[in-house]
Amino acid sequence: MAAARELVIIGAGGFGRETAEAVRALNDYGAHWKLGGYLDDDPARHGTAIDGSPVLGSTDELGNLTDVSVVVCTGRPDNYFSRRRIVERLALPPERYATIVHPSASVSATSRLGPGTVLLAQTVLTATVTVGSHVAVMPHVTLTHDDVIDDFATIASGVCLGGNVHVGRSAYVGAGALVREERSIGAGALVGMGAVVTRDIPAGEVWAGVPARRLRSAPSASSAAAG
């Protein structure tokens, strides 16, 4: 029997907890992860247990955990650049990062996932989908043929992308959004919940509505677009 690989999740919020459940589901299907616990920079969580897994301390503790695999699971809609900032600060080699795919996800043989990416339950990647590193894909997302999702993007639950859609680096696509085929969402852009995207969205802008229209500039948009 293969030895269990220890995994630490950075971020003990909702996305981190959902990733922990995906890890438990993988183990039920024969994977060999040992869930060591969470690292979180909120001192109020240190020393507690969340859903049975301990919060070991802040991300600084990772320096004492040199042999564990890591996955970074942060990024609320009001702070969706945090995952990128943490990864850049940690400066770990790509092989330290786990790629977590819930066993109920459907990933075609022609699709590719980068290190540190998480696909939660019931996600579907149909044909030749390219997903970069440290991408968060929430439950019930459909990515269709030839979609490209750049590093650090977040695709919230229930999103459906038509074919040949490009989602830029660190962009956030809100829950239930629909994106027409052959459209692009620029780096650092934010698409609101339930939006219907029929036009290209420039980098660093917030769009929402049916059809989606520009509302304002995104927070920290200049740094996201530049990166």
How far is residue 159's CA from residue 47's CA, in Å, rounded to a whole number?
Answer: 36
Q: How much is the pLDDT for 219?
A: 81
- Residue found under tokens 């790509």: 94
The domain ranges of the chain are 5-74, 100-226
In CATH, the number for domain 100-226 is 2.160.10.10
Per-position pLDDT tens, the chain of length 227? 567 799 999 999 999 999 999 999 999 999 899 999 999 999 999 999 999 999 999 999 998 888 999 999 998 888 899 999 999 999 999 999 999 999 999 999 999 999 999 999 999 999 999 999 999 999 999 999 999 999 999 999 999 999 999 999 999 999 999 999 999 999 999 999 999 999 999 999 999 999 999 999 988 644 444 44
Q: How much is the pLDDT for 14?
A: 95
Q: What is this structure's pTM?
A: 0.94
Q: 130: how many CB neighbours lie within 10 A of its CB?
A: 17
Who's near 76: CB < 8 A, 6+ residues apart?
13, 82
Who's near 219: CB < 8 A, 6+ residues apart?
78, 81
Fold of 5-74: Rossmann fold (3.40.50)
Nearest to 51 by CA among 23, 20, 73, 75: 20
- In Å, how far are 4, 17, 151, 174, 195 from 129, measured between CA atoms? 30, 26, 14, 19, 22
